Amino acid sequence: MDKYTVIIPTLWKSNRTKKLIADLQECEYVDEIIIIDNLYNGHQDTKIEKIRFVSFGENIYVNPAWNKGIELAKNECIALCNDDINFDTNVFGVIDEKIL
């Protein structure tokens, strides 16, 4: 099973963001989480397993952030997420070659 890179642009406004990140960290199918920090909280110096914080010093908005995240991703399988959702991350385990 291929591993996933998940890209999440955020302004840190949603109360769901921390749960989303925690769920993705626990997911065996996800080995990279790229968080595009559009608020610039200074997280890029933080080292957390699986997580890469990226900031451009300004809000680059959602679609450009996803595009930048794709450029930085180490995996071919990529999931684009919003920061205000939560879902069962085990869904990554049922995606097979036919779906990809």
Query: Dihedral angle at the C-alpha atoms of 66, 1, 51, 37, nearest 10 degrees?
Result: 10
| pLDDT at residue number 2 | 86
The confidence score (pLDDT) of residue 97 equals 67
Separation of alpha carbons 17 and 63, rounded Å = 18
Q: Tell me if 3 sits within 8 A of 50, measured CB to CB.
A: no
Using a 10 angstrom Cβ sphere, with 0-12 exposed, 13-18 middle and 19 or more buried, the burial of residue 47 is exposed
Which runs of E-coded beta strand occur in 1-100?
Answer: 4-10, 30-37, 51-54, 77-80
Instruction: Look up tokens 């065996």; give the residue.
Output: 28
Q: What does each of the 100 residues of the chain score in pLDDT, given as a tens digit?
A: 789 999 999 999 999 999 999 999 999 999 999 999 999 876 666 678 899 999 999 999 999 999 999 999 999 999 999 999 999 999 999 987 666 6
What's the pLDDT score for residue 40?
82
DSSP output for 52-75? EEE--SS---HHHHHHHHHHH-SS
Does the reported pTM lie above 0.85? yes
